[in-house]
Amino acid sequence: MKRRLIFSTALALAALSACAESPIRPPSPPLTYDRLGSLMQVSVVDRATGRELPIYRYRGEYWVAGRPGSRYAIRARNAMGERVMAVMSVDGVNIVTGETAGVLQNGYVFSGGERSDITGWRKSDSQIAAFEFTSIGNSYASRTGRPADVGVIGVALFREQMPVPPAPPIVPPQRDGYSGNRKMERGSEPPSAVAEAAPAAPAAQSSSADSALGAESAASAKGGFARPLPSLGTGHGRRETSHVGHTTFERAQSTPDEVVRIRYDSRENLIAAGVIPVPPHPRWPRPEGPSAFPGSEMGYVPDPPARY
């Protein structure tokens, strides 16, 4: 009987020890990105800190968290070795022309490898109105009667139509003076130089130091979740200096080669929607409760009291 008791006690102690030592698995970190896109790398920058905002992926969409009242920029870098045109929209509005956005409208042209921060709505060749996070009602789209697509940034990217060299001229057959045989010969001169492209579509405003990107406005599906605070939009902020020039650009095709779409809202709303996971609150150690058998604690024979 003693062996069975000791064996059972050892098993019980081992089980308790295993439970105590098993670690609590920490929550998985959210899946985040710094930039999106392959033809052009796109990110959103907090202008107060100069840092790129984390981009969260949630249910197939990409989100950034904005702070009401803060100014932001859309940072773009052409990852190609050739010119790329970017048609950009914010809240469903073309940021260059102010039209309800469409992919075939004017945008910005980036040279190969060029990078620039787009900081606002284009007002002229030398000025913009700053992008700033604000309430939906104060957004530029809402104030101009277009509130349906507030909360999304879009960039539609087009590669350039490359000129096609002309076919080499065909030389008519000539008679060989020695053999009398007719022989087909082609001109020995190399093909002419590559022809220049046909006149491009009306100018896409190009920026050098402050060039921007473009976007296709897709109707943003409004989330079906409760929001603790009003959603964000992009306001028509203060005027700033931003110089651009003009160029021509002929698209290789009428549909975008790539579209980048980033939605945004306040951090509180994204947490409430589950876009930004929040680590659980730390668990306080549970206080020891009353013992069911206070006079029968598990153990062995104690030593006797010391002699006097």
Cα 291 from Cα 97, distance rounded (Å): 76
pLDDT in tens, the chain (308 residues): 444 444 444 444 444 444 444 444 554 555 677 899 999 999 999 999 999 999 999 999 999 999 999 999 999 999 999 999 999 999 999 999 999 999 999 999 999 999 999 999 999 999 999 999 999 999 999 999 999 999 999 999 999 998 777 778 887 776 655 444 433 333 334 444 333 333 333 343 433 333 333 333 333 333 444 446 789 999 999 999 999 999 999 999 999 999 999 999 999 999 999 999 887 776 766 667 777 776 766 667 777 777 76
- What is d(CA 265, CA 153) in angstroms, rounded to the nearest whole number? 11
Euclidean distance between CA atoms 213 and 157, whole angstroms: 8
Q: Cβ(154)–Cβ(218) under 8 Å?
A: yes
Residues 6+ apart with CB under 8 A from 57: 31, 32, 33, 63
DSSP H or E stretch at residue 161: none
Angle CA 193–195–196, to nearest 5: 130
CA torsion through residues 73, 155, 100, 219, sign? negative
